[in-house]
Structure 1
Amino acid sequence: MRHHILTASTVAILTCLFAAGTSQAQEVAPATTITWKGAPQFQWGEFTFKPRGRVYFDYVAQDVNPALGPDTSAAESRLRTARLGVQGTWTDQWSYVAEASIGNGSANWDDLALTWSPSEYTAVKVGNYKSLSLENLTSSRYTTFMERGPFNDLIDAGRVMTLSARTGGANWSLTGGVHGDSINDPSVGGKEQAGAFVRAHFAPVVTDDVKIHLGAWGRVRDRRDDSAFRYRVRNNTNFGNRYTDAGSSALGAGDKDSTYGLEAAGVWRNVSVQGEWAGVNADLTGGGQANARAYYVMASFFPTGEQRKYDAADGEFGRVKIRRPVTEGGPGAVELGVRYDNADLTDFAGVATAGRYSAVTVGATWYPFPYVRFLANYSDARNDAQVATADVNVQTLQFRGQFDF
């Protein structure tokens, strides 16, 4: 299996880098420099090492109202995410990251990657990581809403073993590569899924007050001997059941697919807007084809005057810089957001639950100081099935306390 070879290679290279940094420290004994970047970063000569991680504590309350059957309610407090890892550099050309999710007595790799950057805007990267979609590439530490929404569920662009190359400039990038399956998927023999992708972005306007982002991407996949691809969405939360779902039968599961997407975002001082659209063309396991579409639009406003931080070279959003954190006697930052989501799976004929999904989400976030956020989201979702008696409406209220380092 290719991803096992890539995994072994990546881990071996990371180990060699660490050993090389340690060896250098022993041979020439450079002074250790410690700086604070959310956690202590240690530097020995040209080698740096920093622990990293994140923890999200959630409370979720959900009401489910089906067209047939009784209404139900559920509520749960839970540990949504806990990750621990390391990151660093070796000279100005090599960087590494290794981070795992921890919970329920087990651990799975998230980001595990090695990057070679021969110049400022070029890079070759290998490992387990994400590669597509503006919101998908924006870390959950920085997204306006607690969850990325059904758009992200449908395109299924999570972390997989990938080899990519990137070129670009101060306000544009072009990245392409090939990928296999996730490093965490067990080997079952045969050939794992294989795919290829490309993403491009351009920021035509980048000033202190105004940023404009435009992007496009595409991906092709073949499941080969892996499980068939699933096309389904959640209710703007990873809590509870999915009700808009093409299923796993031959009528709704994919052998191969091609996915393409468009990105747009704008920032004007303390106001921002963002949206994406994607289409999926699937070759079904039982023969024939089906298409799915999804999009979202959102707006964000900081009454305290902050601005979403945009990286014009990478085409991604990052950590908000708080103007007056509470540690300096200020109120921290407040962000208000509204979002509309839509997904259409009705082309999967014969699957009752492969219908249309739509939802409105409102949210508020308080940033008391860097690396800490408190979020509240409310979503009102409609799952309109191909058979009206299978329609389901879902209302979800969520709260989160999070910190990262």
Structure 2
Amino acid sequence: MTLWLLFTALLATATGQGVVMTLLPPLGREVGLNEFQVAIIISSSALVYAVGTTVWGRVSLHFGRRRIILIGLAGYTLGTLLFTTVFSLGMLGLLAGLPLFMALLFSRMLQSSIMSATPPAALGYAIALTTADKRLAAISRTTSANSLGQVVGPAFGGLLAALGLLVPLYTVALLTFLALGWLWFRLPDDRLLPGQVDAKTTHLNTSERLTWASWRYLMVAAALFSAMAMIHQTLGFFFIDIWHLSPSRAAQQVGFSVLTLALVSVAVQFGFVQRSRWGTGRMLILGLTSLLIGYMLLAFAASMVSLHVAMALVGLGMGLSYPAAATAATSTGSAQQQAKATGLVSATPAVGFIIGPLVAAPLYQLNPSAPFAAAAILIAVMLVIHRLPATHTRATDTP
């Protein structure tokens, strides 16, 4: 039961993130922000989030993970309300131009600094809750909330956008508040768990340097999310500028497109990856190849059908590539090196969303299809890096 409570905490956070990524480009266009300003908001909040996960992970060791999880959910609820209120002021014409941009940037960064408390505390709780032989299954179940949030968030945001661009954000704040209340009454105090001491040792004893094998797969994982961030940054503007949809209609179409991607990704992870005996090398080759084809097809998509086919290929590639890269990165070296790699793997989505939007925004201004092409080139480079010789790898690391 406790693992499902942790799952709920992460699902609430991941769903909210999916909604924001779906709505931010159309909302930005609605209040007069340009592509680069939207990119700065996404990247800056991702940077704060990445730093915050490290800080909150250490804080949770001293103050209790249950307490930090609740702080993260409370911060997400209040931060979403603040962020949405600033947008509403912009839509009413009470804020505009640079003051509006700065208010949105500050409110989103403030939200990220607090909501980043939930994921590391929840993961640490799951580790402390289980024995070593059951830890992988517990972590997999807990963190699968991120994949499910990628399905629920875009669909949720896209459907509710028909009622108004701000309606999904207010609804997310309500759902996060309900999750906070549920965990407040049901989640036990983790400081009484017998695995607490072991969890502290695992987190703190990470001084050994990582092997090249781990670093190259961490690079692959970060590149996967950088390419994904380019798509999130671009699609909303692409639908408005190239296909001449209204901001509300564009938000719906972004939601449906990302839903296609996420459904395929989740289906592959649960239906194939967890049952497959393939090595990580073979899985990475197939996944990266699927991503390469999908991004290339996006660059030339001329209809909604071809766009959804491309998004399905990207979903297939993500479903195969990210679990394989994460497993390969955390399966080499000593126990201390593996623990350090595990922490870095959890930061790769934030790293991707720091880099991706800042690359996509200027490319979009040159050519609306350029971010898709850049994502394809990035994945091609990762295919080359994956094929480079590596030392001290396990059998599962090679095709």
Q: TM-score normalised by the shorter chain: which range applies? A: under 0.3
Larger Rg: 1
Structure that is richer in helix per residue: 2
Task: Select the structure that is richer in strand.
Answer: 1
User: Could you state the TM-score of these two structures normalised by the residue count of structure 1?
Assistant: 0.25
**Higher RCO, 1 or 2 (CA under 8 Å, sep at least 6)?**
2
> TM-score, structure 2 length as denominator?
0.26
